[in-house]
Structure formats: C-alpha cells, structure tokens
Amino acid sequence: MNCLYGDIPTEQFDKYREKLHNKIFWLLIYKDPKTKQKYSHVDFDRYFRTLMEEINGLNKIIGISPYILEMMALLQAAYEQTTYDRFDYNEYRKFVLDAHSVLDKVEV
C-alpha cells in the first residue's frame, strides 16, 4: 500500500484495522449500563477525542477516504447521544456498531 510516508504492507494495515476495531469497541463498554461503573475512572471525553484524532490521522496517511468520513460522522453522532439528558444506549450502540462496520470498507 502506498501512503503519505511510503509503502506499508497490507498485512500491517490489516493488523492496525483490528486494533482500531478494538478501540472503537471500547466506546460501547465505557457507556454500557452493565459495565460503565467498572470503568468510571476513564475520561470518556478524552478517549473519544483522541480516537477521533487518530482516525483523522489515518485519513491523512492513507489518503482521503469517504468511508473514514462516514465512520467519523457515525462516531460523532454516537458521542452526541452521550450529551443528551435522556441518553439512549441502544441508539448510541447502533451508531458505534455502524461505524465499526464501515471501518471494514476502508481500502488501502
């Protein structure tokens, strides 16, 4: 794969994609009513912000991808759910899982 800083093996990108899937998955755990107490020490806003910056960095490295923009929009919509007085975990979860599936469409 040719990117901003030279060639990156496809296998390396696949492993990175798996790590990014895991990072996105943690968004569910941090807000799940069944598990959020266990992770109350985590600064969710900071975690979310740094994850979004990382995804934006990926976009710059591999070249502009409409799928990355879609993924970021879905994650932002999920984040917005967390700011509502009547937080709906199921809706939040759907946005996060949709973003999770879009990640698989990102091509190198």
pLDDT score for 8: 79
Please answer whether residues 92 and 82 qualify as being in contact, where contact means their C-beta atoms are separated by less than 8 angstroms. yes
> What 3-state DSSP class applies to 41?
coil
Confidence (pLDDT) at 63 = 82
How far apart CA 100 and CA 29 sit, in angstroms, is: 14
Q: How far apart are CA 24 and CA 52, in angstroms?
A: 10
From residue 57, alpha-carbon distances to 51, 65, 83, 91 in Å are 10, 12, 25, 27
CA distance 49 to 9: 28
**For every one of its 108 residues, what pLDDT tens digit does the chain have, with 9 covering 90 and above?**
677 777 777 888 889 999 999 999 999 999 999 999 999 999 999 999 999 999 999 888 888 888 999 999 999 999 999 999 999 999 999 999 999 999 999 876
| The model's pTM | 0.90
**Alpha helices, DSSP H only, in 2-84?**
10-31, 44-62, 66-82
Please, are residues 59 and 68 in contact by the beta-carbon 8 Å criterion? yes
Tokens 């919509």 locate to 77
Return the pLDDT at 50. 98
